[in-house]
Amino acid sequence: MKLPKFALPKPLTALTIALLTTFTPISLNLVKAQALFGQEEVTQSSFMAIASPGGRGYSLLLLEQLPSGRPCWRESGSTPVVVEPLLLNYDDFSRDCRRGTDGNAYSIRIDGQDFSEYVLRFVEREGELVLVGTHRTDRTKEPVDIGRTRGLSATGNDFLKIFLDPGWRFTRRTFEGKVLGHIYLTGDTTAMGNPPDITPGVVTASSFGDIGNDIYKTEIEQAVSIGFIAGFKNDNTFRPLEQLTREQIVSMVIEALKTVQGANVTVPASVATRPFSDVENTRWSAVKIKWAKDNNIVSGYPNGNFRPTQAVTRAELIAILKKAAEYANAQRGLSTELTQTQTLFTFTDIAEHWGANQITQMSGYCGTASPLNEQGNRFEPNSPSLRNYAAAATLRMLNCVKTGS
């Protein structure tokens, strides 16, 4: 199918900037934050894109071969090329391979711009699987072809190699000059046979249908832009009032720290033992919980449990964010004493609480700790932390860390 020529967005005009800044300065900061994403070239032969079979069809699996590591995959056949993921045979492949299995690990970038509104999936077409990018919400936009398997599995259960189309390659994301683990499927329209007609996704007030009236809307948008929290692809919502679990906040904080230059966040690919008695070493969050535990960012309960699926309280959230800020400062050779950037807030309901000192201190650290729904003088330390406030509080901590406070 012949697709129209690629259309780049119009540059920001004075009127556009005026409209952005009319609502809040953070809106303009959001645009600037997205512009801070960059890309670093990588050795193409060190990466493999694979169509991975599953119960609901094929999903994308990205593998990276680390230097001097054991082989991560083996190829056989020609049309298609069947891939054997050798890393699955290793008890610990963290020194050999890296793998990415979802949208937190990879995304599309074309002509130097992120296309966050496009998701990756497979379609079967003319005797092969085609990896395409499709717009999350606008079904009128043509899918973007990225690569293909050049054949189908005889059994339907084979891992198949994806051959990237002309004009496509792997690169690695950077943020403010810091190289991240996130992998881009990067397109160059000048090298494509049929450049796609798509426009880059920008996180705006309309990106999620359920945050338009949320008090934390602009901070949610900026947090999603940076990439340490995301919305839900199936219905394009953020679910701001949904409770956040203890394992989810660990994941959020780690992803936020990865954007700090010099923070040195290297999470292993697997762990051999349970980090806590109730966290299986095979659980998706085990490696992150283990890393956070080892670096004194989280701790468990006296009985040895972590309770990963339990809602994190507002007090626990603040305690974790304080530890994360101290870790980031220590890694960069700065004082772990967090500098107060604003007047401390006097909460009326924390005097006898175990987290009183931390909550008070973090209220003066870029306002990380703030009253419930930003109103009144109660912090509600034992209430569950909701996704909207968790995103905002983590963003405030991150901004304070990056300014060297």
What is the tens place of the pLDDT at every residue in 290-347? 999 999 999 999 999 999 999 999 999 999 999 999 999 999 999 999 999 999 999 9
Residue located via tokens 């069947």: 82
At residue 112, the pLDDT reads 84
Beta bridge partners of 52: 59
At residue 234, the pLDDT reads 66
Q: Which residues of the chain have pLDDT under 70?
A: 1-36, 138-140, 193-207, 233-234, 405
At residue 293, the pLDDT reads 96
pLDDT over 70 percentage in the chain? 86
Give 65-99 pLDDT, tens digit per residue. 999 999 999 999 998 999 999 999 999 998 999 99
Which of 135, 144, 122, 112 is CA-nearest to residue 49?
122
Q: List the structure tokens of 166.
A: 């002309």
